[in-house]
């Protein structure tokens, strides 16, 4: 029943593999500096039904407002190795001269925060290194993904090789982010329970904790039932049909699974639903900022606006030297 969700995710991943060849948008918005400010904005946004006269990015540019370093995001359908990865130097940003390195490990979910982490790295004197593969679940088990058995195995092989590469980088820390579909199963179509999945994810996190004690697992964000960028363009006076309820099953928030895995592995975790949703609604517009690049990713404008929130979360877990 979740095949359409995975297929759409894969389609988005395949699109994102081309972003490195195109210049990202230069849109910007005022930073959101406190969780109280963010909560207030989300409450207000939860009752806004019409677009304002001007937004950042514009509606026309919303679907191209993505982060830089897209060339460092490996293709979903590529081989299960690091041959296509441009390398440590090309995929470094933040304070590139720092002796402290934080690796950004995962799929396009970690890539979408690159510009925010670039700013944090420069401010806190940390070099960020992006090592990611599109639409790749990092749990330490080969999963059936409804697209290709070969690609399922290649994702798992990539993750194993990436851990070895991370160890060779001797990082200060690792920030982990990736998307998990609501229902997971093995290649033999054995459904993974929440506890079983958490165990496999914990196994992967333990590999990273063995390299550095500073491992931070990011929570996931709401996944609306339709592409918000398209919905906003078609229905500018019906925005409340474009977002999603915090309790909708398709939104794919995996806080219990992720929190359990992080605790078992000794990694850090911060629930992030409150970054994206009020108590009643997960909007697509915050003040004048459009939030979604597509169903599965935020606009660069929004992630950059959340830089102070992300930085505070990393500091709270001792992730920044």
pLDDT over threshold 50, residue 271? yes
pLDDT (tens digit, 9 = 90+) per residue, 285-294?
A: 999 999 999 9
Residue 28 pLDDT grade (very low, low, confident, very high; cuts 50, 70, 90): confident
Decide if 242 contacts 228 (C-beta within 8 A).
yes
Enter the pTM of the model: 0.92
Which residues share a beta bridge with 217? Answer: 176, 269
pLDDT over threshold 60, residue 67? yes
Decide if 100 contacts 128 (C-beta within 8 A).
no
* DSSP classification of residue 218: E
pLDDT over threshold 90, residue 149? no
Give the Cα separation of 232 and 236 in Å (integer): 5
| pLDDT at position 4 | 43
pLDDT over threshold 90, residue 160? yes
Between residues 20 and 52, which one has the greater pLDDT?
A: 52
Give the Cα separation of 136 and 139 in Å (integer): 9
Between residues 187 and 134, which one has the greater pLDDT?
A: 134
Give the Cα separation of 270 and 278 in Å (integer): 17
| pLDDT at position 29 | 85
pLDDT over threshold 60, residue 7? no
| pLDDT at position 15 | 47
Q: What percentage of the chain carries pLDDT values higher than 90?
A: 78
Decide if 179 contacts 107 (C-beta within 8 A).
yes
What value does the mean pLDDT take over residues 149-175?
A: 94
Residue 24 pLDDT grade (very low, low, confident, very high; cuts 50, 70, 90): low
pLDDT (tens digit, 9 = 90+) per residue, 180-224?
A: 887 889 988 899 999 999 999 999 999 999 999 999 999 988 888
pLDDT (tens digit, 9 = 90+) per residue, 31-62?
A: 999 999 999 999 999 999 999 999 999 999 99
Give the Cα separation of 154 and 32 in Å (integer): 38
Q: Which residue has the tokens 């290194």?
A: 129
Residue 247 pLDDT grade (very low, low, confident, very high; cuts 50, 70, 90): confident
For the domain made up of 3-316, the CATH class stated in words is alpha beta
Boundaries of every domain in the chain: 3-316
Least confident of 27-31, 60-64, 230-234: 27-31
Decide if 302 contacts 113 (C-beta within 8 A).
no
């Amino acid at each position: 029943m979740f095949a359409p969700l995975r297929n759409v995710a894969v389609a988005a991943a395949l699109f994102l593999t081309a972003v490195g060849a195109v210049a990202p948008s230069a849109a910007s918005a005022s930073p959101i500096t406190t969780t109280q400010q963010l909560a207030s904005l989300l409450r207000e946004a939860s009752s806004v039904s019409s677009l304002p006269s001007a937004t950042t990015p514009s509606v026309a540019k919303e679907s191209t407002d993505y982060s830089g370093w897209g060339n460092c995001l490996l293709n979903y359908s590529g081989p299960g190795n690091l041959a296509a990865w441009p390398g440590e130097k090309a995929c470094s940003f933040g304070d590139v001269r720092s002796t402290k390195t934080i690796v950004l490990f995962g799929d396009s979910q970690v890539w979408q925060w690159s510009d925010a982490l670039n700013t944090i790295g420069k401010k806190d004197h940390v070099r960020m290194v992006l090592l990611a593969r599109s639409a790749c679940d990092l749990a330490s088990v080969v999963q059936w993904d409804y697209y290709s058995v070969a690609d399922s195995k290649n994702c798992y092989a990539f993750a194993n090789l990436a851990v070895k590469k991370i160890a060779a980088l001797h990082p200060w820390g690792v920030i982990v982010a990736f998307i998990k579909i609501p229902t997971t199963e093995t290649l033999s179509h054995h459904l993974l329970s929440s506890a079983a999945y958490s165990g496999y994810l914990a196994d992967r996190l333990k590999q990273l904790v063995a390299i550095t004690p500073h491992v931070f697992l990011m929570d996931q964000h709401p996944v609306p039932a339709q592409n918000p960028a398209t919905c906003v363009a078609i229905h500018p006076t019906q925005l409340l049909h474009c977002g999603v309820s915090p309790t909708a099953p398709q939104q794919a928030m995996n806080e219990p699974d992720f929190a359990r895995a992080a605790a078992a592995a000794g990694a850090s975790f911060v629930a992030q639903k409150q970054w994206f949703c009020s108590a009643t609604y997960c909007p697509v517009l915050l003040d004048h900022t459009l939030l979604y690049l597509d169903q599965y990713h935020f606009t660069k404008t929004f992630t950059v606006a959340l830089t102070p929130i992300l930085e505070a979360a990393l500091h709270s877990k001792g992730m920044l030297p």
